A = this chain, B = another copy of it.
Amino acid sequence: MEAPALPLDTILIGDCVAELEKLPPASVDLVFADPPYNLQLQGDLRRPDQSLVDAVDDAWDQFESFSAYDAFTRAWLLQVRRVLKPTGTLWVIGSYHNIFRVGATLQDLGYWILNDVVWRKTNPMPNFRGRRFTNAHETMIWAARGADSKGYTFNYEALKAGNEDLQPRSDWLIPICSGGERLKGGDGRKVHPTQKPEALLARVLLSASKPGDVVLDPFFGSGTTGAVARRLGRRFIGVERDRDYAAAARARIDAVTPEAHDAIVAAPAKREAARVAFATVVERGLVKPGQRLVDERGRHEALVRADGTISNGTVVGSIHRIGAVVQGREACNGWTFWHVPGPAGLVPIDSFRDALRAEGA
């Protein structure tokens, strides 16, 4: 009996497990999956200006329990593993709400993790209540079918050449999807609540697939995977339950102009802005807690604290804030204002920042 043909460059409408069951085994080169994160949000969240955050409260993200989510995860991971070629690999993206469960489940099913890759966001949503760290990253797991998998695609040389001849690392700095790239409906509202940036998908496809490869996305959503696949000369298969999402994705992909064949190489990574905090200078021991800082003319002084704040004896705050306070000004650049007294004279604390930047470069 003839194997069913692959529905290339197609969006299949339906539940991903049911749709994947119809695909032939060992037929897909790469899978990118952005499953529901199972967020468990309590009430409304408001910004400090009282505006309401548009939360992800869609029905597709609701699960009864962890075990219900685990069963769902296991089911789609099993089907994905079936349709993956022996040389194929899987990427899954998630946040701390779900990624640990996904990772444990895929290990249980025999997948072999190659890397976990951190997507660092240049512009994450801030933490409005100041009770946690700003959630500034998401996690991707890159896995082969099994521990003995050989021959998977990893375009190491191209990635290295595009990264100033440095090895590609497991942490990627990429902005979130916004501006013109973000799909909007006729009402001006976003089409999909969690549209991923094309730059992220581009780096995934350029890292772990070749032109002509078949890329499957079982949670197609607004179709970023399809749009990037088409642009980069890959074939795609999308599965999406929601007809509105699928229609928007189809229109989006049809509007994509594929890159010329010789242009499909890894783009050079953007040079990362080296922002150094004073807390880091203290943390690394370049300036010690308890150190006395003075201004250039010796009129003002302050003491360094272990957490990278400084104190003028009455107020504790940042190097900038305290610099402003002691001068009775609105603002002050603490990096140039404060100095460490030494045997050879005053050393501006900015010089320690330079040292850290040089080290990071």
Chain A residues at the B interface, C-beta cutoff of 8 Å:
45-46, 50, 52-56, 59, 62-63, 66, 95-97, 99-104, 107-108, 110, 112-118, 120, 122, 124, 126-127, 130-137, 139, 141-142, 145-148, 154-171, 173-175, 199, 202-203, 206-207, 232, 259-260, 262-264, 266-268, 275, 277-280, 282-284, 289-290, 303-309, 311, 316-318, 320-321, 329-332, 359-360
Determine the chain B residues whose CB is within 8 A of the CB of A53 once the complex forms. Answer: 147
Say which residue of B54, B154, B163 sits within 8 Å of A279 (CB atoms): B163
Contact A278 B162, beta carbon cutoff 8 Å: yes
Given A50-B329, A50-B330, does the pair A133, B155 have CB atoms closer than 8 Å? Answer: no
Across the A-B interface, the 6 shortest Cβ-Cβ residue pairs = A100-B103, A162-B308, A162-B279, A56-B146, A263-B289, A267-B316
Say which residue of B96, B161, B305 sits within 8 Å of A308 (CB atoms): B161
Say which residue of B50, B104, B207, B309 sits within 8 Å of A158 (CB atoms): B309
Say which residue of B113, B133, B146, B268 sits within 8 Å of A117 (CB atoms): B133
Question: Nearest CB to that of A277 among chain B residues?
Answer: B163
Question: Nearest CB to that of A149 among chain B residues?
Answer: B56
Say which residue of B131, B146, B317 sits within 8 Å of A55 (CB atoms): B146
Shortest beta-carbon distance from A346 to chain B in Å: 16
Say which residue of B108, B175, B307, B317 sits within 8 Å of A155 (CB atoms): B307
